[in-house]
Each structure stands twice: as structure tokens, then as C-alpha cells.
């Protein structure tokens, strides 16, 4: 028994060491190529921009995935319609902006609308299936399929972009030669930090957050202590969906909206929270950073001729983390 | 524990997904395999309804269906391209249409082609839409010698230059042909000497790059960098960041969502699309107009004379828009996908008419008729070469602001009789790749 435990411990340590080694090699490789080793041309400003792209994309991933992980953490609902809520939120924001509504107001209204839609979805479809994970996941898949098809006749199949107001739709200079960076991406990063800090504060330092934490640890006991779990579930689903809608408008401004992005953002949310650990906010942060940076850096710094593997690399990340830590980086056993 | 539960859920989920998928597929097949009398001619239309090029579905549908309305007496069941066409016939033989839906990947296109040919039993397949799909379908065509394959818009060079299935016909030419004139335009008119190429990483953009390089480099131009990004990439910011400094401009070879992502990113960073970018043929598509004003003045290569005032083109545009009044003006006719699916279906109908819809003898008479066809299409006169690939005119088109403030196209140059080899520059062994042809 002790021998087996020792072996497991050694294997675990070795796995951790291997993970660290791969990480170090990757970082060294990227930095070396950035400063001009291994046959690359030195280009520090490219490195900075690509890193910033990774961080801003991570910001968007975090906004979307934090809602996903919040819902899962408390309710054990794998909300497969989360990507559809993202896309629908973006489309609602697009329509509002097209109707000459102020961009920020449109952002807030679209997010609220998606929050309400999420709440209705939870109350009508999920509440009476509480505790039945598979059934709930299937219901949300059904909702996502219906939404995906319904959005095409209303919003078209072509890619559309939300045009941000003047100031947001420009770029800033860093004083790095001619390098300019889109303002909107920096705003997304800023909002992601703001949302992250607010969520952390709300969960760690408010009564409601305490209830959520208690609910994550032991739903039955929390309920038995007299907390109205149904209200908590409703509010959590509202916030989780709201974050998806918010991400949709920001994503539509930063990248574009198109059919299929519901699936791709659901997938990235899944990767983010599986890497980070389901239900953990810190996990979502680390997962989003890992995915965003790997996504952007690999496309540029993989050896020439292998850049087409950059898409695979994000899944390699997933496999790697799961192999090392099956519960994700911050997941509980 | 959580993860175990999740893994279990996911595993069960995936089997459910497969089960549901299979159920739906059986149901869908049940619809399309309706029995028909022996004189019915079954035509399959294969396009993309998912993936990065999903937006081109209604364009390709509208073209193929409008050809049935115009040349085969069909009637649209409604005001939009998604509505069916009924009552089409050739030489007394009713035409029955089945649809295939791919997502721009070769395996999905192949699966759909197999379903249409082997299960539904179509006689003629029109499609596919995208480059790699076309190579796969042309190879599959060799296994089905008694069926006829007419390409939709897939534009990889190898499809007809090295695969060369004897029953695969391409009336729209390949991606390199669609760039004819653009390299010269960049060198002589814009005075570009040093360019970068940014595109999606698969056969069609490589072929388009080859067509550009085929003129630009022999003239004396240089390609400073070629940046190929995997299809399916959501965020193109780092792709744009890789464009080197000190270039005169860059050539963008993307389609659909990716085009919008790049154009938006480049314009937001203060770049001028009209003076520093040229577009590949799928870039010159109304689906990108959401980017807005920065597109005004952007030029690119196209096999269809977008915005032309030529009477053959305008009567096609008017007829098409009359058939689909529910769709905004310009959104269908302004697309090469509409135009080339229209050409493909028109060629099928004309070929059938020539042989009295006789598909006997492994369709050999019909295939001979197709080989010898001279198609007077809205985009000019088209003939096939000995590899059954089109010799056709090509156009340089430009996105312009119209009087009402919306965006539209105008044709600024015509290049007649473009053949696939660029007069010997390309051959069966010169298949375009990431870094070939060299420059």
C-alpha cells in the first residue's frame, strides 16, 4: 500500500516536473525567436503585440468562461447553450447599435437581456430537472440547436461586425516606432480585469458570495441551513448568462459575429474551465490566459511550416493538463 | 470527483449526440430518397451550410436554382433562395434536386457526395464550394465513372491539372485564373514592388497566391512574406500583426468570417485597405460589406464582372433579383458563388438538352456534350480545355460607394481567355503550396 502510494507520488512529481519542463522550453523558444535566435529575425514589437493579442483574447475568453464556470460550480449544470447566449447577446447588441443607440447602453441592455433570457431558461427548463446532469445538458443542447437555427433567419448567415463609436474604433500608440494597437481590445482586457475583481470580491466578501461558496461545497447542507437555494440558483444563472451576453457584444466589436461562433465560444469556454478546473474563478482566469496566449503565440512562433498546427496546440494543452491534473489546475478532488 | 462526473456526462453525451445525429440523418434521408419514375434526372447540389463559408450557402443555392428557373422552366416556391424550385424539366424529363451540406472540410464533402451519389442516387453532382473539398470530390469522381461531376466554385489548381478525373468538369476555372490581371495591376498601376501575402492555409488560397505571383514576380515584384493561418481561426489579430513593415501592400486571400476579421483589425490599426490591400476572389464579396467605409476603393480579382454595365451581366442580375425579391439588392448577384453555381447548372442543362437528356451508356454522350460546350454566360464566353477546365475571361473589380451611401462593385479591367496553365507557367507537377511557386 505504502509502496503504491510512493509510486503514485513519484509519478505525480515526475508529471509535474515534465509539465514544468515543457512550459520552460516553450517560453525559452518563444523568447529566443523573439530576440532573433533559432533562425528568426529579431522582432520585439511583434512579440509584444502578439502577447498583448493573447492577453486581450484571454480577457474575452475569461468574461465568457467565468459565467460558464459560475453556473457549473454552483449548479452542476453544463450549460451547452452558453455559446448561443454569447452569439445572441452579440446580435442583440448589433441591432441596438444599428438603431443608433449609444454603444455602452447597447452593451448593458444586451447583457441584461441575455441575463433575463438565461433566467427564463433556467426557471422554465432546468429548475424541474435539478440534479439530473445529463438531462439538463441535453436540454441546453436542444436550446442551443434551436437558437442557432433561429438566429440565421433573423440575423443572416454572413459575418457581421459591431461598429464601435469613434474613440473605441481607433488605435493607440505605445511609442514603439509605428506600432499601433486597437483601443477596443485594451478596453476588453480592462473590462475583463474589472469583472474578474468584482466577481472575486463578490464571492469572497459578500453574504451572497458566501452562500455561493457554501452551495459549491455542499448544496444539500446549504439548503438544510435555511438558505433559499432556488433564489441563489436563479441569480447565479442570471449573472452567468449576463456575462455570456456581455462577451458577445464585446466579441462582436473586437472580432465579428457569425453562425458557428456559438459553437466555437462554447468550445473555448469548455477548454478554459476544464484546464482551469470546473467551478473555479481562479481556474477560469488561468485557463483563459493559457488558451489565449497559446492560441496567439503558437500561430506566430511555431517553427515555420508547422504554424498550421497552432489550432491543435490548444487541444494539446487540454490533453496535457488533464493528463497531469484530471480535475484541472484549480479543480477540487 | 467533479471531473469524473463530468467525464462520465461527456461520454454519455457524445453517444447521445451520435444517436440523435444518426436518427436525424435517417429521417433526412427518408425525405430525399422518395421514389421517382425512371425518366427523372436527379441532380445533387453540394455546398457549404456550416463552417467558415456557411454564409455562401444562399449565394450558391440562388445561382443554381436561378439557372433551373431560367433554362429549365422551374418555378421558385418562394421569394428567397432557401425556397425550393419545382417543375423544372429538360426534354420532357423532370429534374429532381437533392441537397448536400458540407462544412468546407474534404471529409464532410466526401461523405455528403457519397450520400447523394450512393444513397440518394443522383445522376449528376454540382459542387463542391471550397478548394480542398474539390480535390477530394475529383478523386472520388474516378471511383464513380458512370456519374457526372460539375464543379461548383472549388478553386484548387490540382483538381483539374493533376487529379484530372475524366468525368469532372469545371466551368468556373481555378483560383489562379481568378487572379489573372491582378499581379500586373499591382505592378503597373499601383507600382507595388514588395508585397506580403496573408491567407487561409489550404489549397485554394495557395492557388490564388500562385495566380498573383505568376504575373507579379516575372514582372519584377518581390513577395516579402507569406503568412498562412489555419482555417477556423477566430481571432486574426496576430495574423495581421505579422505583416512586415516596409512593404507596398498585401494581398488578402480569405473568405467569409475571416475576411471581416482581418479587414476590421487592419483598419482599426489605422491601415488603409483601399491603398495597401488587394483582395482575393472571395474577399470581393458582399458578405464583407459589414466592415463599412474602409472598404471603399478596395480592388481584387474575380471571375465574375461584379458591377459591370455589360448587358449580359445586367440582364442576369435583373433576372436573378426578380426571382428572389426578398433578398436585398446586390447581395446575391454581387457574388462569384452565385455566378459560378449558375454557370455550372446552366452547363448541365445545356449539355442535357444537347443529348435529349440521354444519360445511357454511362452518361458518355452527356459528358461528350459537356466537353464540347461553349457556354455564353453572364461572365463571358467559356470553353473547356482538354483537362475539362474552363478557359474564361477574368476581371479586376473594385468596391465603391454608391449614390445612396451603400457599398457596391464596379469592374475596372477585363482579361480575356485566361487558361489554367497561364500559358505554360503551371503544369501537372507545379501544384501550388505554402511556398510554391517561389518568387
Chain B nearest-CA distance from A51, in A, is 9
Residue B411 counted as domain residue: yes
B51 to chain A: nearest residue by CA?
Answer: A260
Average pLDDT, chain A: 89
pLDDT, residue B7, reads 39
Q: Which of B227, B162, B233 is nearest to B196 (CA)?
A: B227
A268 contacts on B by Cβ (under 8 Å) = 234
How many residues would you count in chain B?
A: 439
The mean pLDDT value for B407-428 works out to 93
Question: What is the pTM (predicted TM-score) of this model?
Answer: 0.86
Provide the 3-class DSSP secondary structure of residue B248: coil
A141 in reach of chain B (CB within 8 A): yes
pLDDT tens sequence across A171-182? 888 776 677 899
Q: Which residues contact A309 (CB under 8 A, 6 or more apart)?
A: A298, A302
CATH of residue B388's domain is: 3.40.50.2300
Residue B337 counted as domain residue: yes
Residues B25 and B65 in one domain: yes
Q: Which of B408, B398, B392 is nearest to B344 (CA)?
A: B392
Assess whether pLDDT exceeds 90 at residue B15.
Answer: no
A310 in reach of chain B (CB within 8 A): yes
Q: Which of B391, B382, B343, B384 is nearest to B367 (CA)?
A: B384
**Reported confidence tier of residue A327, pLDDT bands at 50, 70, 90:** confident
Residues B146 and B212 in one domain: no
- Give me the number of domains chain A comprises: 1
The mean pLDDT value for A82-94 works out to 97
- Give me the number of domains chain B comprises: 2
Assess whether pLDDT exceeds 60 at residue B28.
Answer: no
B260·A256 Cβ contact <8 A: yes
B6·A49 Cβ contact <8 A: no
Residue B428 counted as domain residue: no
Identify which of B230, B233, B264 has the shortest CB distance to residue A161: B264
Residue A313 counted as domain residue: yes
A292 to chain B: nearest residue by CA?
Answer: B235
Interface test with B, best of A165, A167, A260, A304 (most B CBs within 10 A): A260
Residues forming a β-bridge with B89: B94
**Reported confidence tier of residue B413, pLDDT bands at 50, 70, 90:** very high
B78 in reach of chain A (CB within 8 A): no
Identify which of B16, B238, B260 has the shortest CB distance to residue A300: B238
**Reported confidence tier of residue B23, pLDDT bands at 50, 70, 90:** very low
Residue B192 counted as domain residue: yes
A256·B257 Cβ contact <8 A: yes
A278 contacts on B by Cβ (under 8 Å) = 2-3, 6
The mean pLDDT value for B113-142 works out to 96
Residue B5 counted as domain residue: no
Dmax (CA) of chain B: 70
The mean pLDDT value for A304-317 works out to 80
Residues B288 and B403 in one domain: yes
Provide the 3-class DSSP secondary structure of residue B101: strand
CATH of residue A166's domain is: 1.10.3470
**Reported confidence tier of residue B24, pLDDT bands at 50, 70, 90:** very low
H or E element in which residue A125 lies: none
CA distance to A134, B4, B18, per residue, from B11 (Å): 10, 10, 11
Assess whether pLDDT exceeds 70 at residue B6.
Answer: no
A258 to chain B: nearest residue by CA?
Answer: B257
Residue A242 counted as domain residue: yes
pLDDT tens sequence across B181-202? 999 999 999 999 999 999 999 9
Residues B86 and B53 in one domain: yes
B75 in reach of chain A (CB within 8 A): no
H or E element in which residue A303 lies: none
A133·B9 Cβ contact <8 A: yes
pLDDT, residue B12, reads 38
Q: Which residues contact B359 (CB under 8 A, 6 or more apart)?
A: B41, B123, B366
Interfacial A residues in 233-262 facing B (CB < 8 Å): 254-256, 258-261
Residue A29 counted as domain residue: no
pLDDT, residue B187, reads 97
A51 in reach of chain B (CB within 8 A): no
Residue B434 counted as domain residue: no
A326 in reach of chain B (CB within 8 A): yes
Chain A nearest-CA distance from B359, in A, is 37
Torsion of CA A150, A151, A153, A155, to 10 degrees: 160
Percent with pLDDT over 70 in chain A: 98
Residues B260 and B326 in one domain: no
Alpha-carbon span A55 to B215, nearest angstrom:
40
B79 in reach of chain A (CB within 8 A): no
Residues B266 and B145 in one domain: no
pLDDT tens sequence across B33-88? 334 445 899 999 999 988 778 888 989 999 999 999 999 999 999 888 888 899 99
A259 contacts on B by Cβ (under 8 Å) = 50, 54-55
Residues B113 and B128 in one domain: yes
Identify which of A57, A133, A182 has the shortest CB distance to residue B5: A133
pLDDT tens sequence across B333-344? 989 999 999 999
Interface test with A, best of B235, B262, B331 (most A CBs within 10 A): B235
Assess whether pLDDT exceeds 80 at residue B381.
Answer: yes
Chain A nearest-CA distance from B274, in A, is 17
Interfacial B residues in 273-292 facing A (CB < 8 Å): 287-288, 290-292
Alpha-carbon span B127 to B411, nearest angstrom:
26
Alpha-carbon span B287 to A157, nearest angstrom:
9
Asked if residue A44 lies in contact with residue A34, where contact means CB atoms within 8 angstroms, the answer is yes
A333 contacts on B by Cβ (under 8 Å) = 1
Assess whether pLDDT exceeds 90 at residue B372.
Answer: yes
Is the bond preceding B128 in cis, omega lying within 30 degrees of 0?
yes
Tell how strand B194-200 and strand B249-253 pair up.
Answer: parallel
Assess whether pLDDT exceeds 90 at residue A304.
Answer: no
Chain A nearest-CA distance from B135, in A, is 19
Asked if residue B79 lies in contact with residue B325, where contact means CB atoms within 8 angstroms, the answer is yes
A35 in reach of chain B (CB within 8 A): no
Residue B426 counted as domain residue: no
**Reported confidence tier of residue A1, pLDDT bands at 50, 70, 90:** low
Average pLDDT, chain B: 89
Residues B134 and B184 in one domain: no
A49·B17 Cβ contact <8 A: no
H or E element in which residue B292 lies: none
Alpha-carbon span A126 to A119, nearest angstrom:
10
**Reported confidence tier of residue A183, pLDDT bands at 50, 70, 90:** very high
All three cell numbers of B293, joined, read 467605409
Residues B85 and B128 in one domain: yes
The mean pLDDT value for A108-134 works out to 94
All three cell numbers of B165, joined, read 478525373
Alpha-carbon span A118 to A77, nearest angstrom:
13
Interfacial A residues in 113-132 facing B (CB < 8 Å): none
H or E element in which residue B252 lies: strand B249-253
Assess whether pLDDT exceeds 60 at residue A168.
Answer: yes
Q: Note down the domain range covering B338.
A: 11-174+312-392
Q: Note down the domain range covering A283.
A: 43-318
A165 contacts on B by Cβ (under 8 Å) = none
B16·A279 Cβ contact <8 A: no
Chain A nearest-CA distance from B269, in A, is 5
Which of A15-24, A277-286, B107-116, B321-330 holds the top average pLDDT?
Answer: B107-116
pLDDT, residue A6, reads 85
A184 contacts on B by Cβ (under 8 Å) = 268
Assess whether pLDDT exceeds 90 at residue B311.
Answer: yes
A264 contacts on B by Cβ (under 8 Å) = 232, 234
Amino acid at each position: 500500500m505504502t509502496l503504491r502510494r510512493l509510486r503514485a507520488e513519484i509519478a505525480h512529481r515526475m508529471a509535474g516536473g515534465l509539465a514544468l519542463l515543457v512550459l520552460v522550453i516553450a517560453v525559452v523558444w518563444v523568447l529566443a525567436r523573439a530576440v532573433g535566435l533559432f533562425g528568426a529575425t529579431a522582432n520585439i514589437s511583434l512579440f509584444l503585440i502578439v502577447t498583448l493579442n493573447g492577453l486581450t483574447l484571454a480577457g474575452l475568453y475569461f468574461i465568457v468562461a467565468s459565467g460558464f464556470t459560475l453556473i457549473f460550480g454552483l449548479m452542476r449544470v453544463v450549460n451547452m447553450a452558453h455559446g448561443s447566449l454569447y452569439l445572441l447577446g452579440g446580435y442583440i447588441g448589433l441591432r441596438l447599435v444599428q438603431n443608433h443607440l449609444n454603444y455602452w447602453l447597447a452593451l448593458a441592455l444586451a447583457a441584461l437581456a441575455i441575463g433575463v433570457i438565461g433566467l427564463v431558461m433556467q426557471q422554465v427548463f432546468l429548475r424541474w430537472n435539478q440534479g439530473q446532469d445529463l438531462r439538463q445538458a441535453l436540454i441546453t443542447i436542444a436550446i442551443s440547436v434551436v437558437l442557432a437555427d433561429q438566429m440565421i433567419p433573423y440575423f443572416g448567415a454572413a459575418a457581421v461586425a459591431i461598429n464601435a463609436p469613434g474613440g473605441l474604433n481607433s488605435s493607440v500608440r505605445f511609442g514603439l516606432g509605428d506600432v499601433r494597437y486597437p483601443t477596443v481590445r485594451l478596453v476588453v482586457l480592462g473590462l475583463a480585469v474589472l469583472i474578474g475583481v468584482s466577481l472575486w470580491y463578490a464571492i469572497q466578501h459578500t453574504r451572497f458570495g458566501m452562500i455561493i461558496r457554501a452551495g459549491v461545497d455542499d448544496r444539500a447542507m446549504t439548503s438544510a441551513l435555511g438558505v433559499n437555494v432556488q433564489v441563489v440558483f436563479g441569480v447565479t444563472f442570471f449573472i452567468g448568462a449576463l456575462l455570456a451576453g456581455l462577451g458577445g457584444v464585446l466579441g462582436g466589436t473586437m472580432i465579428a459575429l457569425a453562425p458557428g461562433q456559438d459553437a466555437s465560444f462554447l468550445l473555448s469556454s469548455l477548454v478554459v474551465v476544464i484546464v482551469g478546473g470546473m467551478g473555479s474563478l481562479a481556474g477560469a482566469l488561468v485557463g483563459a490566459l493559457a488558451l489565449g496566449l497559446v492560441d496567439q503565440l503558437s500561430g506566430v512562433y511555431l517553427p515555420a511550416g508547422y504554424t498550421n498546427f497552432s489550432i491543435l496546440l490548444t487541444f494539446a494543452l487540454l490533453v496535457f493538463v488533464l493528463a497531469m491534473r484530471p480535475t484541472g489546475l484549480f479543480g477540487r478532488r | 470527483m467533479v471531473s469524473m462526473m463530468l467525464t462520465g456526462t461527456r461520454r454519455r453525451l457524445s453517444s447521445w449526440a451520435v444517436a440523435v445525429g444518426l436518427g436525424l440523418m435517417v429521417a433526412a434521408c427518408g425525405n430525399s430518397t422518395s421514389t421517382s419514375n425512371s425518366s427523372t434526372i436527379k441532380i445533387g447540389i453540394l455546398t457549404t451550410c456550416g463552417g467558415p463559408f456557411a454564409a455562401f450557402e444562399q449565394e450558391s443555392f440562388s445561382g443554381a436554382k436561378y439557372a433551373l428557373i431560367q433554362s429549365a422552366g422551374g418555378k421558385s416556391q418562394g421569394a428567397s433562395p432557401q425556397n425550393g424550385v419545382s417543375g423544372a424539366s429538360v426534354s420532357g424529363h423532370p429534374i429532381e434536386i437533392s441537397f448536400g451540406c458540407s462544412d468546407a472540410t474534404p471529409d464532410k464533402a466526401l461523405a455528403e457526395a457519397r450520400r447523394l451519389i450512393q444513397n440518394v442516387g443522383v445522376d449528376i453532382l454540382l459542387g463542391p464550394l471550397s478548394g480542398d473539398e474539390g480535390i477530394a470530390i475529383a478523386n472520388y469522381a474516378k471511383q464513380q465513372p458512370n456519374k457526372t461531376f460539375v464543379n461548383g466554385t472549388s478553386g484548387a489548381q490540382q483538381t483539374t491539372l493533376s487529379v484530372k478525373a475524366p468525368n469532372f468538369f469545371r466551368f468556373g476555372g481555378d483560383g489562379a485564373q481568378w487572379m489573372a490581371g491582378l499581379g500586373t495591376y499591382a505592378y503597373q498601376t499601383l507600382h507595388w514592388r514588395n508585397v506580403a501575402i496573408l491567407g487561409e492555409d489550404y489549397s485554394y488560397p495557395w492557388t490564388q497566391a500562385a495566380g498573383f505571383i505568376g504575373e507579379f514576380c516575372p514582372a519584377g515584384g518581390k513577395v516579402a512574406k507569406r503568412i498562412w493561418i489555419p482555417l477556423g481561426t477566430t481571432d486574426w489579430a496576430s495574423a495581421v500583426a505579422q505583416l512586415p513593415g516596409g512593404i507596398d501592400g498585401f494581398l488578402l486571400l480569405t473568405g467569409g468570417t475571416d475576411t471581416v476579421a482581418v479587414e476590421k483589425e487592419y483598419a482599426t490599426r489605422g491601415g488603409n485597405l483601399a491603398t495597401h490591400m488587394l483582395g482575393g476572389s472571395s474577399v470581393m464579396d458582399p458578405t464583407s460589406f459589414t466592415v463599412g467605409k474602409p472598404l471603399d476603393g478596395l480592388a481584387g480579382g474575380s471571375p465574375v464582372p461584379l458591377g459591370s454595365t455589360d448587358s449580359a451581366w445586367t440582364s442576369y442580375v435583373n433576372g436573378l433579383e426578380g426571382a428572389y425579391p426578398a433578398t436585398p439588392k446586390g447581395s446575391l448577384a454581387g457574388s462569384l458563388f452565385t455566378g459560378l453555381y449558375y454557370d455550372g447548372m446552366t452547363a448541365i442543362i445545356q449539355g442535357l438538352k444537347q443529348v435529349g437528356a440521354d444519360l445511357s451508356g454511362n452518361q458518355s454522350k452527356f459528358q461528350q456534350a459537356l466537353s464540347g460546350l461553349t457556354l455564353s454566360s453572364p461572365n463571358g464566353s467559356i470553353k473547356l480545355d482538354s483537362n475539362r477546365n474552363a478557359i474564361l475571361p477574368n476581371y479586376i473589380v473594385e468596391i465603391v460607394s454608391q449614390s445612396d451611401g451603400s457599398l457596391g462593385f464596379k469592374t475596372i479591367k477585363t482579361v480575356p481567355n485566361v487558361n489554367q496553365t497561364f500559358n505554360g507557367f503551371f503544369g501537372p507537377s507545379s501544384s501550388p503550396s505554402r511556398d510554391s511557386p517561389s518568387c
